[in-house]
């Protein structure tokens, strides 16, 4: 029978911890609750054997992956099903925690359960974990608590998360192939420059005056790579670190986000991505009954681009002054005029949420088309670049050998 470490709060408000033997975490929690205490956390204890030494336990904890949005999606889907089946929230959380294999996420669920048992609203419990549960998630749950449509809202949240995960996979998938081709091009070039070209040093030595400029340039570059590679690698690492630090600043993040919307091949894809994310988020929040000012704030935060975030902040300020959403958007170039017109029509008809859902579905399809187009364009471009670099190196080596063989003959 396994042992479980627990932390409980007594009726006097004091925290106590200990170890309890039970068949499962659910049984252990039930035994503790029967003692009249409030369970704060419960985890399976280690037996203290050699394989579970303190060092190995620490190493295991370090290697534990952080919970992902896939974990949140599975949790939300299971919770929606259990709530719809008539199971109360506390029991549902207890059951999901018992079935969750992810150690860190199980701990999060147990903390949510403890907060709910202490009398807190579920949305308030979720707000303690902002890295896992987004402001959209928390506000939609809060709205459902007021309207009494908890299970339906969880289904809607699960659908939103699933679509966001799918969109992220599509964007990442579109960048994998170019990254592989680019990596291969760099690897092949370095191999030719550092291992193949040096074999011809003895052939070309003393003939620099009659060699083509390309051959002389490559020989000089090859010697530099072989002799100065520690400094070159160090310089590249410093540049990468400096760029990473720059990207974390406000100016750097703004510059990168603006560049995404300016790159000729990629800007259409990124624009569709940010429009889809913004309008889908906004539509979900409006349909959930979240106040408009909160909706605009959350939409800006979740948009994923500093320029779009600034646009929604301006809309927030305008709406706060009593204006309509479409008014500040008409003078902004971030959204197409047709989208702004449909938003204005949705405001006039009182069906803004439905209109935003329809627009986001359309731009989700546009995003898929843009990803296919970008992938189709980048593939031949990368192949041509790779072929050009390798061909240039090959010609710079073969051409002088061919000329010298003609002279000898």
What pLDDT digit, counting tens, does each position of 343-392 carry? Answer: 999 999 889 989 998 998 898 888 888 888 887 787 788 888 888 888 88
Domains of the chain: 1-63 (no CATH), 170-409 (1.20.81.30)
- Banded model confidence at residue 251, pLDDT cuts 50, 70, 90: very high
Confidence at residue 310, expressed as pLDDT on a 0 to 100 scale: 92
Cross-strand pairs, 9: 15, 38
Give the tens place of pLDDT for each residue, 187-213.
888 888 888 888 877 777 777 677 778
Which element (helix H / strand E) includes 6? strand 3-9
The pLDDT tens digits for 322-351 are 899 999 998 888 889 999 999 999 999 889
Whether pLDDT at 48 is above 70? no
Q: List C-alpha distances in Å: 362 to 48, 260, 329, 348.
A: 57, 21, 19, 21
Under DSSP, is residue 170 helix (H, G, I), strand (E, B) or coil? Answer: helix
| pTM, to two decimals | 0.70
- pLDDT value of residue 186: 84
Average of per-residue pLDDT across 16-36: 74
Residue 164 predicted with pLDDT over 90: no
Contacts of 360 (CB under 8 A, 6+ apart): 275, 276, 279, 280, 283
Average pLDDT, the chain: 83
The H or E element containing residue 188 is helix 150-191
* Rounded Cα distance, 31 and 23, in Å: 11
Encoding tokens for residue 382?
A: 């990368």
Choose the weakest-confidence range: 6-15, 122-131, 186-195, 343-352: 6-15
Query: Please, which pLDDT band fits residue 13 given cuts at 50, 70 and 90?
Result: low
Give me the residue label for tokens 């020989």: 219
């Amino acid at each position: 029978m396994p042992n479980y470490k627990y932390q409980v709060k007594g009726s006097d408000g004091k925290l106590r911890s200990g170890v309890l033997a039970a068949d499962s975490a659910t049984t252990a929690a039930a035994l503790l609750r029967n003692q009249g205490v409030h369970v704060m956390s419960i985890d399976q204890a280690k037996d203290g054997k050699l394989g579970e030494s303190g060092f190995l336990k620490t190493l295991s904890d370090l290697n534990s992956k952080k919970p992902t949005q896939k974990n949140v999606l599975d949790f939300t889907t299971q919770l929606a099903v259990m709530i719809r089946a008539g199971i109360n929230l506390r029991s549902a959380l207890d059951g999901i925690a018992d079935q969750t294999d992810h150690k860190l996420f199980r701990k999060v669920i147990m903390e949510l359960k403890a907060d709910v048992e202490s009398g807190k609203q579920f949305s308030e419990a979720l707000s303690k974990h902002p890295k896992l549960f987004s402001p959209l998630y928390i506000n939609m749950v809060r709205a459902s608590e007021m309207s009494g449509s908890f299970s339906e809202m969880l289904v809607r949240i699960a659908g939103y998360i699933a679509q966001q995960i799918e969109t992220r996979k599509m964007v990442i998938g579109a960048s994998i192939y170019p990254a592989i081709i680019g990596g291969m091009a760099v690897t092949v070039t370095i191999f030719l420059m550092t291992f193949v070209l040096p074999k011809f040093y003895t052939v070309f030595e003393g003939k620099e005056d009659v060699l083509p400029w390309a051959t002389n340039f490559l020989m000089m570059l090859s010697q530099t790579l072989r002799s100065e590679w520690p400094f070159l690698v160090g310089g590249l690492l410093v540049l990468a670190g400096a760029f990473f630090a720059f990207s974390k600043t406000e100016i750097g993040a703004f510059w990168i986000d603006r560049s995404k919307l300016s790159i000729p091949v990629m800007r259409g894809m990124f624009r569709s991505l940010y429009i889809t994310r913004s309008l889908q988020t906004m539509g979900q929040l409006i349909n959930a009954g979240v106040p408009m000012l909160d909706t605009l704030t959350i939409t800006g935060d979740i948009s994923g681009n500093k320029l779009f975030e600034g646009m929604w902040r301006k809309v927030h300020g305008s709406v706060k002054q009593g204006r309509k959403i479409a008014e500040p958007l008409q003078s902004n170039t971030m959204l197409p005029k047709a989208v702004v017109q449909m938003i204005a029509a949705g405001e006039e008809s009182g069906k803004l949420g439905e209109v935003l859902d329809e627009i986001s579905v359309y731009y989700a399809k546009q995003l898929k088309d843009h990803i296919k187009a970008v992938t189709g364009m980048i593939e031949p471009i990368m192949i041509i670049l790779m072929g050009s670099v390798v061909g240039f190196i090959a010609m710079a080596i073969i051409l002088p050998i061919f000329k010298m063989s003609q002279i000898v003959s």
